[in-house]
Amino acid sequence: MTAEHSSLPPAQDHTAASRKAPLWLLVIVTIVGTLAMHMFLPALPDAARQLQAGASQMQLTITVYILGLGVGQLIYGPLSDSLGRRPMLLAGLILYALASLAAFLAPSAPWLIGARLLQALGGCAGLALGRAIARDSSTPENAVGSLALLNLMMMIGPGIAPAIGSAIDDALGWRAIFGTLAVVGGVTAFAIWKLLPETGQPTGRLHLGTIRDDYRSLLRSPAFVGFAVGGGCATTSIYAFLAAAPFVFIEQLHSTKHEVAIYLGLLMGGMAVGNALARQLIRHWPLERLMLNGNLLSLASAAMLLLLALLNQLTPAIVVGLMVLFALGSGLTSPAALASALSVHPRLTGSAAGVYGSTQMAVGGLCTLGASLGSNPALSAALALVVACVLGQLGFRSALRHAQRAPG
């Protein structure tokens, strides 16, 4: 790896130990934002009946949350570079808790939609800044382990959120979901206030021109763009399959809802194994080898799924096996890509984390849209995964090529 993205400046390495953030706290911060993404999904019909709203209005509560996650990460990054990680994370969590309380009290669908947007704008602080804080404290190689765990949390959130939301809705009603999230947000904010040190090097100055220049520097860097696009394609492209999974397993392969929950759990297990392997392999493999080989494993799995879907030869065991391998490859790839992206411009780590997170949400949304097209969910999802993996491989190779040309 070259100087452009291989190491922190010496001064940053020297102070990293004194600015170490508790990893368990960063895990909780990351989970807070992702849990709320789909936690409300099972309760949509109940909320629609009580608020006398149509299905399209209630679906907007999901759409605006994803929009808020993508846009909000672009805001927190540069603000944290200027004003500090800790105060911006506290502000985001307080907004998240207050917006959750507003959703709990919502008298109408428009009120609920607005509260969900604010909730996302608060919750996304953890997604962007949790990564930046982990990166602040170590070199790219040492950061891979922490980033692998945080990346896993971002993927697990949407996987387990519907089950949690469904249980709360059945026991206490849909409003209790937002009451629970308000409490979680408030408790997490208190923990941040008590336990989290400032890990960044805030300038204390905030100018719109500076923010514009920071983003311009990142978006004009082929290395950063390649790592960000490649990382998004390697990570949140799996949302395409998660969105299609109920239709694939239940309608096409005649599985039960209980079996689908088990299958998705195995899928998350594959991601967890991949992240665990990444934390071990980084001791022996360079970052680029993890990225390229992990993504090739995902590509091979997706290509086989596409071929078998075309031949109408899918079974639950085949689909689960191939998607576990896909998730394993994604788990290997994503932390190395994230560490590399955040190291391209070490002084812009907050902004870089925001752009990276927004790219992930954009890729996830596009892949989910692709999986919804056509009359064969398995075929559409597999095609979306193949295209994403090919684009990811091209992005990584472009980033590495430009990084090797960088001076120093």
Extract the tokens encoding 329.
């490859």
Alpha-carbon gap, residue 268 to 323, rounded angstroms: 10
Predicted confidence at residue 179, as pLDDT, reads 96
Tell whether the model's pLDDT for residue 393 goes beyond 80. yes
Specify the fold of 10-405: Growth Hormone; Chain: A; (1.20.1250)
**Which sequence spans correspond to the domains of the chain?**
10-405
Cα–Cα dist 182/238, whole Å:
29
Cα distances (angstroms) measured from residue 231 to each of 76, 334, 383: 20, 6, 18
DSSP state of 296: H
CA distance 184 to 36: 11
**230 close to 337: Cβ distance less than 8 angstroms:** yes
Per-residue pLDDT at 282: 81
List the one residue out of 343, 360, 39 whose CA is nearest residue 168: 39
Residue 371 identity (one-letter amino acid): A
pTM score of the predicted model: 0.72
Nearest of 379, 397, 375, 365 to residue 238 by alpha carbon = 365
pLDDT, mean of residues 82-106: 93
**Residues 239-258: tens digit of each pLDDT:** 788 778 777 888 889 887 66
Find the helix or strand (DSSP H, E) in which 65 lies.
helix 55-83
What is the enclosing helix (H) or strand (E) of 300? helix 287-310
pLDDT, one tens digit per residue, over 267-280 is 877 887 887 788 78
Return the DSSP state at 253. Answer: S
Q: Do 235 and 360 touch, CB atoms closer than 8 A?
A: yes
pLDDT at 153 (0 to 100): 67
- Rounded Cα–Cα distance for residues 65 and 58 (Å): 12
Instruction: Give the helix/strand (H/E) hosting 72.
Output: helix 55-83
